Amino acid sequence: MLQRTYIVPSTLSCWQFQQSVVLENLRNTGKDLKLGGDARCSSPGHTAKYGSYTLMDVETSKVIDLQLVQSNEVKNSYNMELEGLKRSLRFLEEEGVSVSDLVTDRHSQVKKFMKTECPSINHWFDVWHVAKGVYKKLEALGKTKKYALVGQWARSISNHVYWCAASSDGEEELVRQKWTSITNHIANIHDGHGDKFERCQHGDLERNWFKPGSKALGEVEKIVHNKLLLKDIGKLSPGEQTSSLESFHNIVNFFAPKSTHYFYNQMKARLCLAAMHFNVNSSRSQAVKDGKGQYRVSFPKSRKGDPVAKEVKVKQNFCYIQELMDEVVIRREMFSTYDQAKRALQQELDPAPPSISGQKRDVIQDYNRDIVIQNMCRRFNCYVRNEDSGIR
């Protein structure tokens, strides 16, 4: 009761104030925003109850908007991402914020929406998502003894995606020719790639090359020349990426674990709390000791045990907690009784979507309870003797 009455509305109020400050600072720059957008579901798979969509300013790594969508507000769980993006863009338009670029993953509905409904916004694809997909396919192929050489090249080919995007300045055909040149390169052929990218730019290399015309090379070509991939590869973001958004989703997992269910307003408050924490700490500098930047070594699963160096940041800032506590105290003093706070809450908070389980009960037709019990199925009904028919 205390959480629902005082803590949740206080959290939402603090986030709305901080959000207004962030938006005002961005408006004062006079620049069109370059944003990164991505969705996060409340549970793995396509049966999630909640889907949250986040828009982040990729230049400052500040969360500027959060939208929470419940699955029964749209056709199904798959549509929650598009609905969240629509609400966020509508909110920014109402706030008078202009957007020039948007970086997302390759969600098919988002691609169509941005092309047809928002042609004035440059829509880019995040390189990490594309490179990860390519690497997974090559790695799976390379696990077989017959195509072991593919596994040796998998990391290099996926890294090639980053170089294609970063070195082409958004020129679609140049990105595409640089990408497809990899099938020549791995066969030790380093020229004749295309009119915009005629030859490789590296020096002499000693590698274990593919044999031209081999089956292994043919399998790699199927992945590299995939029609959908070639269509999207030219829209890779040349600069801004959504890596900070992935970091924010890790923070959300701390405040709202996927293993725990939350009611709508509680879930929304936890997302806002995660956004406040992230915005305060997103620009932390590297820790320094004895005049040297500090690093730590980790062994991420994605690297198959290979060590990776990461910067050690200065300690986190929790200044927003005092603001939250002050807001809770103010609310408690304003509404001394639970009934007063409840009435104020109904006016302040947007109405939550109808309960999924309650909505299902509403559409159930009248039924005969005795018939339902009579038709009850058991796992081993087929092995129970039927006295009337004599059948087991």
CATH at 77: 3.30.420
**pLDDT of 270:** 95
**pLDDT of 383:** 52
Please name the residues in contact with 276: beta carbons below 8 A apart, sequence gap of 6 or more: 14, 15, 18, 320
Counting as low any pLDDT under 50, the low residues of the chain are 389-392
Give, in degrees to the nearest 5, the angle at Cα 257 between 254 and 263.
120
Q: Are residues 68 and 159 in the same domain?
A: no
Q: Are residues 206 and 260 in the same domain?
A: no
**pLDDT of 23:** 94
**pLDDT of 391:** 45
* Domain boundaries, position 55: 2-124+240-281+311-328
**pLDDT of 366:** 66
22, 64 Cβ separation under 8 angstroms = yes
**pLDDT of 338:** 66
pLDDT digits (tens, 9 = 90+) for 46-73: 678 999 999 999 999 999 999 999 999 9
**pLDDT of 87:** 96
249, 40 Cβ separation under 8 angstroms = yes
Residues in the chain: 392
85, 117 Cβ separation under 8 angstroms = no
Question: pTM surpassing 0.75?
Answer: yes
**pLDDT of 388:** 52
Among candidate residues 21, 247, 11, the one with its CA nearest the CA of residue 128 = 247
**pLDDT of 378:** 61
Q: Are residues 217 and 169 in the same domain?
A: yes
Q: In the listed set 233, 263, 291, which residue is the last one of a domain according to the structure? A: 233
Lookup result for tokens 């790639």: 193
Q: Are residues 36 and 144 in the same domain?
A: no
23, 356 Cβ separation under 8 angstroms = no
Q: Are residues 192 and 271 in the same domain?
A: no
Q: How many CB atoms lie within 10 A of CB 58?
A: 24
**pLDDT of 12:** 92
Has residue 7 been placed in a domain? Answer: yes
Total number of domains in the chain: 2
